[in-house]
Amino acid sequence: MIVQVLDIGLVALLLTLAGWTILARFTFPAVVSYVAYGLLLSLIWVRLFAVDVALTEAAIGGGFTGVLLIAAASRLRTTTPTEQGPAAPLRWAVAVLSALATLALAIVVLLLPDPSPTLAPQAIDNIAITGLGNPVTAVLIAYRAFDTMLEKCVLVLAVVGVWSVASDRYWGGAPSAPRAVAQSGALTLFAQLLPPLGILIGIRIFWVGADEPGGAFQGGAILAAMWMIVMMASLGDAPAISKRWIRIAVVAGPIVFIGVGVLGFATAGGFLAYPAGIAKTVIIFVEIFMTLSIAAALPMLVAGPPIQAPRL
């Protein structure tokens, strides 16, 4: 009974925040409300017993998307919109359409088959071969490794896309990461105290992902956040995109993944097949480079395209 009340309270708060995000008049309150919404959503994921997803939602969905949107809202504040919103009758029509969509999805939710089909037994049966203890990590890196590899490639493509919207004369220069307007002692102290601890925590979350909730994405996001804090406190600059090390860091993950996959033809008889016996070693090896890539790509995505001419 108490748990029901807590659930309903959480859902009510979440829907209020989502409504505020959509319906607020000004952009900045909507963005702030979205950040709070993302963090609250990760609590709902914990209620659904999906702790890995909760970690990812809190780190990437709430944290990184929030930083991105706040920086965007402040950069776009002085622009004028080109068009007006639709008139009232059209708004009502769209509201009815959205309500119909919600109704359809709700009916699907209420009419789900019971018992519902599940892949959990197969996941558990085959997990001993991979040597992992966390079934979500096993799905990500072993059973559906192809999807994860393509997702890493999507991240690289997004970085290339963000870099390529720069104007010609800035190509190869450095982007400007969102940073504090004025020098602040408190921020500098924070950026000196937190990153060593944060890097340790990030590496630990990546490492325990093999057996407990955690993994490469969550650990990589924490490492990326530490780098962002250093950049935000003006203790470090965003690297020029022509620098070799940042390019190698961003593509290292997918390249190692694809390389291991191709080697799988020779060693285990298929693309992305891991040889039995050393499966866990191979998985950890791939995950290390994935974490490095994520830690390099996420801050670059937030920093945006280069806005200074490259220094020769």
Partner 1 sequence: MSAATLAGLTGAVLAGLGLYGFIIHPDPLRRVLAFNVLGSGVFLLFGILARRGAAAGLLADPVPQALVITGIVVAFAATALAVALLVRLSEETGRVGLHAEVPAQTPGDGADG
Partner 2 sequence: MTLVLNLFSIGAICAGLVFFVAGTVGLLRFPDPLSRLHALTKADNIGLGLVVLGLLPFANGVLGGLKLMVVWVLVQLSGATVGQLIAQSMRRNGPNA
Positions touching partner 2 (CB under 8 A) are 180-182, 184-187, 189-190, 193-194, 197
3-class secondary structure, 84: coil
Instruction: Round to whole Å and give the CA distance between 44 and 38.
Output: 10
Work out how close the CB of 44 gets to partner 1 at its nearest, in angstroms, rounded to a whole number. 6
Q: Which does 144 bind (CB under 5 to 8 A by kind): partner 1, partner 2, none?
A: partner 1
Work out how close the CB of 233 gets to partner 2 at its nearest, in angstroms, rounded to a whole number. 10
Work out how close the CB of 212 gets to partner 2 at its nearest, in angstroms, rounded to a whole number. 11
Work out how close the CB of 66 gets to partner 2 at its nearest, in angstroms, rounded to a whole number. 13
Q: Which long-range contacts (CB under 8 A, 24 or more apart) does 141-146 make?
A: 141/216, 141/283, 141/286, 141/287, 142/274, 142/279, 142/283, 145/257, 145/261, 145/272, 146/271, 146/272
Q: Which does 194 bind (CB under 5 to 8 A by kind): partner 2, partner 1, none?
A: partner 2
Residues 231 and 238: beta-carbon distance below 8 Å: yes
Q: Which does 184 bind (CB under 5 to 8 A by kind): partner 2, partner 1, none?
A: partner 2
Q: Closer CB to partner 1, residue 114 or residue 183?
A: 114
Of 157-176, binders to partner 1 (CB under 8 A) are 157-158, 161-162, 165-169
Q: DSSP labels for 106-170? A: HHHHHT--SSPP-SHHHHHHTHHHHT-S-HHHHIIIIITHHHHHHHHHHHHHHHHHHHHTS-GGG
Choose one: 68-76, 179-187, 197-205, 247-255; the region binding partner 1 (CB under 8 A): 68-76
Residues 137 and 209: beta-carbon distance below 8 Å: yes
φ and ψ of 171, to 5 deg: -60, 130
Work out how close the CB of 186 gets to partner 1 at its nearest, in angstroms, rounded to a whole number. 28
Of 280-309, binders to partner 1 (CB under 8 A) are 294, 298, 301-302, 304-305
155 part of the interface to partner 1, by CB under 8 A = yes
Instruction: Round to whole Å and give the CA distance between 96 and 88.
Output: 12
Choose one: 82-90, 178-186, 247-255, 268-276; the region binding partner 1 (CB under 8 A): 82-90
What is the DSSP code (8-state) at residue 209? T
225 part of the interface to partner 1, by CB under 8 A = no
Work out how close the CB of 267 gets to partner 2 at its nearest, in angstroms, rounded to a whole number. 38
Q: Closer CB to partner 1, residue 30 or residue 201?
A: 30
Residue linked to tokens 């969550």: 218
